Structures are given as structure tokens and as C-alpha cells.
Amino acid sequence: MNSVETQLSKVIQGEIHTENQFRKFYSVDASSYQVIPKIIVIPKNEKDVINTIKIARKFKTSVTVRGAGTGLVGSALNRGIILDMKNFDSIKIKKNYAIVGPGVIKGALDRVLEKNKKFFPPNPSIGAFCSIGGMLGNNSSGSRSLKYGSIIDNVIEVTIIDGNGNKIILPKDKNFSNKIQKKIKINSKKIPNVSKSSSGYRIDKILSKNDSHKIIIGSEGTLGIVTSAKLKIKNIPKKRILFVIEYNSIKNAIKDCIFVNNTNPSAIEFVDKITLQQINHKFQRNTKCLLFVEYDEKINQNDKKMKSLISGKIVKKLTKKQDVEQWWKYRDSSLFYSLKNIKKENRIPHVIEDAAVPIERLTELFSILEKISKKFKTKSIVYGHIGNGNLHVRLIGERKKPSLIKNIATYYFDEIIKIGGTITAEHGDGLARSEFIKKQYGKTNYQTFQEIKKLFDPKNILNTGKIISEKSTIIKNFEKL
Ligand SMILES: Cc1cc2nc3c(=O)[nH]c(=O)nc-3n(C[C@H](O)[C@H](O)[C@H](O)COP(=O)(O)OP(=O)(O)OC[C@H]3O[C@@H](n4cnc5c(N)ncnc54)[C@H](O)[C@@H]3O)c2cc1C
């Protein structure tokens, strides 16, 4: 028998699995989708990754790399081969950077860094559980990305295996970096006008050939499998101050957010009524939402200034590490609180959960959501990284109506694009949004994306169907609705 599995079993030093329980395990992630793969390879080393890709090329089978499977839009799900990179778990800490394998779990990196009084700034709310590979794949960020940027701003170098099975180090490989730069034709009018985005390939970040590694960040494993990454690390701030501010009007919270954003905070986060009702504190009865504002420098100065900057009421001013961490836990649990509050049959799968708009247009984002409520008879729960204009939305409505979900998404994304926003700020495109990328970026930029894909993966085997997509996948493959 000359099957993919037979060929793989001749050369792979790691594990190969085709048992049903493995295929089922790797068929889901934290999204609402399910796609059953054929084979799971757990490579032991780089040679295994190269051999898997070469065999997959021969058999025209897709290869999709997976981290911890906490992605929210099915980016790591596919048919064909799934590569689980958990054995790539080495961590080396230097003065201002760390060299890590993609299988390193964020919590493990945090613990090692803390011992060295360092931290890696991007901090997804899922906290300790995601992997570095998945963070690179999605261009993840978090609350502190407001000050420190997303992953794309915090990576120095990546080593990848491309769709031909070649090892490439970017931006070190000058020849390949030149090739990337030559492919880039950009229509800047169609680039989202936001401080962070995980939609499409981030061609707007490649200002010179020294930025060539940034094309990999957010590419969802469609251009190469990252086998190692050199990450920027920072000294842990000596002190933090966290203000929790209550508002009886969302409009006032937005106004304050815009003022506070000019004062270099390390985070400005938003939660609506659903989250605040879960917090062990007595807020005023008419409180509609909270802002969490954190500074990690000039603590006294910012403390003195805060009251005069805002119209909301400060209900907590926290400086003790434990208290700050406890209150961040409330914010980070927003997704959990929102799910807890919606009956399963009314949970619309998350497909519009991650847009961002220029912050001066946040009021319009809330009006769009109100229009959606009226037009499609839904309700929404909102929380997120408001300082970046990035709000996470959970929709409550009729779950078992996939056509409704597609109509809502089409309407929402059209409106978001019109006001200069991105359809995804940090969760990526995956199965939910890949088909909307052309609309987001327009023809010229999309053609550049296609050229880039061809350069890295001419046979289209890497995470086939994501980012560059011919078919609509938004309402296909939902796990039992
Ligand atoms: C409760 C909850 C809260 C969340 N909060 C946030 C948040 O605040 N901010 C945020 O940004 N995200 C958030 N997320 C989304 C998600 O957790 C992150 O995007 C996370 O970084 C994904 O990591 P992972 O290891 O689970 O990746 P996976 O889901 O396994 O994979 C994600 C993508 O990365 C690709 N990938 C994986 N490994 C590699 C590799 N070695 N080389 C190339 N590509 C690779 C995959 O193919 C896939 O396309 C949240 C998710 C949940 C469930």
C-alpha cells in the first residue's frame, strides 16, 4: 500500500496517529466548528516537519499546524494532516530576547521569564493556555498590546519550513526577503485604519526587507510552519496601578477612553453589564459598563491626573499585585461569563466576535450593533480591548439558523469596513472570515496576498482554504448546532 500514512511511517521519528479518538480530538478547537482530519503527525524534530510536507506535496494533501487549539474561528482545523508541534518546547532566555519553540505554552514561558524579572508583552485573555506557535499564527494580542503592540511588533526572527519543505530564516535570508518585498504591491486606501489587525497577510507592516518575518505573523500556518521564534522581552514593571471606573452611559465611557488613550496607559478595557454583574462588588444600580485602565509607569503622576481626565466614577484604585491580578481575572473571564449567561440554543457561534475600528468611531460600532439587534432580532454582549477600538461581541439569538449567521456577518463586516475597521483584530480569519478578506482589502492587496502565497506554498498545501479561499466556509462545518 502506498498511502500517505505508509510513506510517513517510513520516515517520521515522532508519532503518527489515525485512530478515531485522535482524529476526533484534533477535529475541534475553541470555535464552533468541527472538521475531521485524516492523520495526525506529532513531529519530533525539524526533519519530521520537512518530510511531512514533502510527502503531503506528493499526495496533494493539506498540512495544518496546530498549537493549543484555543483559536476561536477554526484556524487550526482542516482535513488532511494535522501537525501538533508540542515537542518543540525549548526556551532560551537572553538579555533582551528569548528563543522559543512554537510548542511552548504561554504559561510556561511566563514562569521562566518571571524568574528572570522579564515578561513577553502580548497577553491573550486565555492566559496560560495558548501556545507560542498559535500566537504567532494568529498575531495574537491582549490588554497590554495597547502599549506594547501585538505579536507582530514583538518578534525579531522566525525560522519556518515553507510549502516546498525548505527551511527559511526571516529576515536573515536576504535573498528570500528581497523576493517577498518585490511581490508587495499595496493599495494603502484599503488597509484598515486601526492599531491592530489579524486579517489577511500584514503587507502593511513590511516597510523594508528587515521586516520580512512579519509576513509570517498572522498567516495562520498558510505560508510556513514556524519551528523557532526569537521574541522581544521586557523588564517586568516595578509597579502597576489599575483603575476600575463605572459609567451609566456607554457614550461617556467612549469619550473617556479617547482622552485616557493619549496618556500612554498599558491597558484600557471595557466590559458591559453582563460581566459587571458577575463581579463581587456593589456597583451603582444604573451602571451600564466599566473601563479598566492600567498604567505601568509614572504611577504617582497618573494617579494624581486620573480624576481630572474622566467623567466616570472610580470604584477601585488598586496597586497591590494580588488585587490587580484578581480584578484582571474578572475582565479575562468575560467570555466565560457571557457563555454562562446564554442558553446553549441561543448562543450564536462566534463569527463577528473580533472587529476593531478607529477609536474615534467606537460610537458608530455600538450603533451598528443596535441596528443588528433590530434587524436580526438578536442581543449582544460586549467586552474587550476598547483602547485599540477592538470589541468582542457575543450574539444571542436563534442558534440553529446558519443563514441568519451569514447575513449578520455580511452586514456587520460591510459596516465595519466602511468606517475603516478590521474584521478581525486578534483572533484571525480561519473558517469564519477568510471569504471576507477580499472585501476587506480590495483587489490589488488581495492579488499581492495570492502572489505571496504562491511564493511560499506553490502547491497550496499549507492550511488549504484559509486566508486565500475560493469557497465560503463561514456556515459550513458547524459542530452540532
Ligand atoms: C477564552 C478565550 C479568550 C481569548 N482571548 C484572546 C485575547 O485576549 N487575545 C487574543 O489575541 N486571542 C485570544 N483568544 C484566541 C486564542 O486563544 C489565541 O489566538 C491563541 O494565541 C491561539 O493559540 P493556540 O496555541 O491555541 O493556537 P491554535 O488555535 O492551535 O492555532 C491558531 C493558528 O495558528 C497556527 N499555528 C499554530 N502553530 C503554528 C506554527 N508553529 N507555525 C505557524 N502557524 C501556527 C494554526 O495553524 C492556526 O491557524 C482567546 C481564546 C479563548 C478561548
Query: In CATH, what number is assigned to the domain containing residue 265?
Result: 3.30.70.2190
Q: Provide mean pLDDT across the span 418-435.
A: 98
Per-residue pLDDT tens for 41-79? 999 999 999 999 999 999 999 999 999 999 999 999 999
Amino acid at 306: M
How far is residue 294 from each of residues 261, 266, 282, measured CA to CA in Å?
Answer: 11, 5, 21
Q: Is the pLDDT of residue 315 over 90?
A: yes
Does the Cβ of 125 fall within 6 Å of ligand 1? yes
Does the Cβ of 31 fall within 6 Å of ligand 1? no
- Listed in sequence order, the DSSP H helices in 277-348 are 299-309, 321-332, 334-340
Q: What is the dihedral of CA 201, 355, 121, 466, to 10 degrees?
A: -30
Q: Which band of pLDDT confidence, cut at 50, 70 and 90, is reported for residue 425?
A: very high
Position 110 scores a pLDDT of: 97
Rounded Cα distance between 166 and 251, Å, is 52
Position 370 scores a pLDDT of: 97
Does the Cβ of 140 fall within 6 Å of ligand 1? yes
Q: Which band of pLDDT confidence, cut at 50, 70 and 90, is reported for residue 340?
A: confident
> Do 61 and 103 belong to one domain?
no
Per-residue pLDDT tens for 84-101? 999 999 999 999 999 999
Position 335 scores a pLDDT of: 85
Q: Within a domain: residue 258?
A: yes
Ligand 1 centroid to 333 CA: how many Å?
Answer: 17
Q: Provide mean pLDDT across the span 29-37.
A: 97
Q: Within a domain: residue 408?
A: yes
> Do 355 and 377 belong to one domain?
yes
Rounded Cα distance between 294 and 240, Å, is 7
Rounded Cα distance between 348 and 403, Å, is 12
Q: Within a domain: residue 160?
A: yes
Ligand 1 centroid to 285 CA: how many Å?
Answer: 37
Taking a C-beta distance cutoff of 8 angstroms, is the pair 61, 22 a contact? no
Position 338 scores a pLDDT of: 84
Provide the strand spans (E) within 138-288. Answer: 155-162, 167-170, 224-232, 234-235, 241-247, 267-272
Return the percentage of the chain with pLDDT > 90, whole number: 93
Residue 315 makes CB contacts below 8 A (sequence gap 6+) with: 244, 245, 246, 281, 283, 290
CATH code of the domain in which 44 resides: 3.30.43.10
C-alpha cell at 160: 519556518
Taking a C-beta distance cutoff of 8 angstroms, is the pair 67, 61 a contact? no
Q: Which band of pLDDT confidence, cut at 50, 70 and 90, is reported for residue 480?
A: confident
Position 13 scores a pLDDT of: 98
> Do 295 and 392 belong to one domain?
no
Per-residue pLDDT tens for 167-207? 999 999 999 999 999 999 999 999 999 999 999 999 999 99
Which atom of ligand 1 is found nearest the CA of 220?
Answer: 49
> Do 135 and 192 belong to one domain?
yes
Does the Cβ of 69 fall within 6 Å of ligand 1? yes
C-alpha cell at 9: 511511517
Q: Which of 340, 362, 383 is the last residue of a domain?
A: 340
Average pLDDT, the chain: 96
The tally of domains found in the chain comes to: 4
Does the Cβ of 331 fall within 6 Å of ligand 1? no
> Do 257 and 191 belong to one domain?
no
Taking a C-beta distance cutoff of 8 angstroms, is the pair 48, 103 a contact? no
Find the domain containing 314 and state its range.
241-340
> Do 291 and 388 belong to one domain?
no
Q: Within a domain: residue 390?
A: yes
Q: Is the pLDDT of residue 1 over 70?
A: no
Position 337 scores a pLDDT of: 87
CATH code of the domain in which 207 resides: 3.30.465.10
> Do 24 and 129 belong to one domain?
no
CA Rg, the chain, in Å? Answer: 22
DSSP 8-state secondary structure symbol assigned to residue 33: B
Per-residue pLDDT tens for 345-389? 899 998 999 999 999 999 999 999 999 999 999 999 999 999 999
Does the Cβ of 78 fall within 6 Å of ligand 1? no
Q: Provide mean pLDDT across the span 397-422.
A: 95
Q: Is the pLDDT of residue 9 over 70?
A: yes
Rounded Cα distance between 368 and 438, Å, is 22
Residue 399 makes CB contacts below 8 A (sequence gap 6+) with: 344, 345, 346, 347, 348, 349, 481
Which protein residue's CA is at the shortest distance from atom 9 of ligand 1? 124
Position 308 scores a pLDDT of: 93
Q: Within a domain: residue 278?
A: yes
Q: Provide mean pLDDT across the span 456-470.
A: 97
